[in-house]
A and B are shown apart, each in its own frame.
Chain A
């Protein structure tokens, strides 16, 4: 606090606390299988980072630890200063951290789109007027105004993904976790979703196999394999490294291969 005050007096920018801080996180499933081993990283407020890695690398487990779904027993996890291991902080977590799951059907569990988007705000105990405002705002933000009374099952994959995002945005989170957001989307829906994600000015952590999408949405990448962080650096630097990518079951995205340079100027 004193350092911050001195910096402010000197006119130098204040170093803000990171939005996400993970230190030596370890997680093993009940069978003993280690899913995360000594994972440490920080994400600055407003930063957008991509988590890439082969299947079984621990991406989804990391997300579930960050969102407080899986209990963190070893290591430190802090999101906007809240520790999911603490019961009181865990109750506050949904107001700070929103997660969009890989399969939208798992997330849209209410009978109508309105009910689903209103689910989170209602759980926060907000008054009816505020709930209506948030639902209208969130649906407008994802371009689903007018879909309030639609049945989630009848939506297309792209609409389902946007409805799931609206449900999370209605909580007004400071941190957004997106797990494989482009899965099951056709090219147009994927393109629209990328535009939507880029328009959200919150801290974002995006896990995906769709490396082109990661290239377009993230400034920084964490490469995860077998529960360990293998690389942490600028998106282009990691994605354009064929040795690193091949060694961990990944490929350099087409737009970053040499022969594609003339078609995809960076």
Chain B
């Protein structure tokens, strides 16, 4: 297995030129609406809307599909298991001890459609503005300062820690280590995890020193002056009205 961690791509599209605050608020509300949908038809429409936004955002196709494929891998477990595990008294097919439920299949399908739509909108959000811009927008939308700071630092240092882990893995391999289901392997993984934690802690201390030496007093300060334009408001309203209408339709249909 190869360890890979990539920086998020940045696209140049109409959506990437929007004020991150309006975009974040609109997309998060849309994600919430999708999460509460109960019908397959509404979820299908939501997925269509999300894919349309992905197309407008000019997401790199390979990058987008690779993420959907990873999600499909996770969802396939539910698709396979739910029809045999969820029963509601509907007409069912029985073959010996195994009972297949249409209701279970419907729930699995609903889950897949909603998950695909939500992940698509999340990818649109991540790819149309740098993460730091999204986090600063979140701060402007009154997300707690501590959460934003921790998220920013995590994003910055996850790559450094990952590079450290890669070096540790090389150090193990050059001394003949291979992952096996043995006690020695488990102990080694434990030691590596411990070493990584200790190094992480030491680094966190050094980063904290560096921040204090440049006058950090716990306040989050930023120069990003967000500016609302009419296109931001139009985007937000279209998104909210569209997904709001979908939610109402779903409510009366379901």
Contact = CB atoms under 8 A, between A and B. Distances in A.
A120 B212 CA distance: 9
Contact of B152 (A91, A111, A118): A111
A149 B214 CA distance: 20
B149 to A, nearest CB: 10
Interface string A103-146: 10111011110010011101110001001100000000000000
B132 interface: yes
A99 B217 contact: no
A61 to B, nearest CB: 12
A223 interface: no
A64 B210 CA distance: 10
Contacts of B221: 122-123
Contacts of B7: 151, 153
**Interface core residue of B155, B215, B219, B222 (most chain A CB under 10 Å):** B215
Interface stretch (B53-61, B97-105, B113-121, B156-164): B156-164
B207 A94 contact: no
B96 to A, nearest CB: 57
Interface in A38-72: 64, 67-69
B184 interface: no
Contacts of B155: 111
Q: Is the interface of B mostly helix, strand, loop or mixed?
A: helix
Contact of B156 (A97, A109, A122, A132): A109
Contact of B132 (A68, A105, A107, A111): A111
A2 to B, nearest CB: 36
Contacts of B153: 109
B209 A101 contact: yes
B214 A101 contact: no
B117 to A, nearest CB: 28
Given A112-B132, A115-B132, A124-B215, A101 B156 contact: no
Interface in B221-238: 221-223, 225
A107 B215 contact: no
B203 A106 contact: yes
Contact of A153 (B130, B152, B160): B160
Given A106-B206, A107-B210, A128-B225, A123 B159 contact: no
A67 B208 CA distance: 13
Contacts of B214: 94, 98, 119-120, 123, 167-168, 171
A70 B91 CA distance: 73
Given A106-B203, A111-B132, A123-B216, A118 B160 contact: no
A171 B215 contact: yes
A220 B7 CA distance: 45
B215 A69 contact: no
B29 interface: no
B102 to A, nearest CB: 49
A95 interface: yes
B215 A94 contact: yes
Contacts of B225: 128
Contacts of B157: 109
Contacts of A168: 214
Contacts of A105: 160, 203
A122 B223 contact: yes
B186 to A, nearest CB: 31
B131 A69 contact: no
A118 B15 CA distance: 27
Interface of B: 7, 130-132, 152-153, 155-157, 159-160, 203, 206-207, 209-217, 219, 221-223, 225
20 contacts: A91-B217, A94-B212, A98-B213, A101-B206, A101-B209, A103-B206, A105-B160, A109-B157, A109-B207, A109-B211, A111-B130, A111-B155, A122-B222, A123-B214, A123-B217, A123-B219, A128-B225, A151-B7, A152-B156, A153-B7
Interface of A: 64, 67-69, 91, 94-95, 97-99, 101, 103, 105-107, 109-112, 115, 118-120, 122-124, 128, 131-132, 151-153, 167-168, 171
